[in-house]
Amino acid sequence: MRILAYTYLAAYHCVDCSYKEFGVEIISKIDSFGNSSMAMTGKHIPDEEPHSILDLDENDIPIDQVDDEGSSVHPIFDFEDSWELDPDFIAENPTQHLACEDCHKILARYTVTV
Ligand SMILES: [Zn+2]
C-alpha cells in the first residue's frame, strides 16, 4: 500500500511537503585519503554529527522520524482508517477531504454513506 500522507505537527501533510521537511538524500563522500563512505543529508540530519544510514520508507523519509514537537511522523496509508470521524460532524458533512496543511492539495476524498 502506498503512503498517502504523513501526520506531524498535529496536521496532515502531502508526501512532497513531507519530503521537503524530513526527506533525506544519500550521498557518497570521498575523504582526503580516497576512501568513500555513505552519508545522509537532510534538513533534520545535523551536518556535524557522524550518523549511520537510517531506515527509510518508500519516500526516502526516515522511519521513526520525530517532528519539532517531539512526536513521531506517521505515515497514512488509508484515509478511511486514519481519520477519526465524528458521527455528528459527518451527518452534516458526509464528504470529507484530506488536504495538505502546507500546500492545501487535496489528497483524498471520502464520502460517508449512511
Ligand atoms: Zn503539501
> Considering the entire predicted model, what is its pTM?
0.79
Centre of ligand 1 from the C-alpha of residue 22, in Å: 13
Centre of ligand 1 from the C-alpha of residue 20, in Å: 9
Centre of ligand 1 from the C-alpha of residue 32, in Å: 40
The answer to whether 56 and 62 are in contact (CB under 8 A) is yes
pLDDT of res. 45? 80
For residue range 13-33, list pLDDT tens digits in order.
Answer: 999 999 999 999 888 888 899
Centre of ligand 1 from the C-alpha of residue 26, in Å: 23
Hey, where are the domains in the chain?
Answer: 3-111
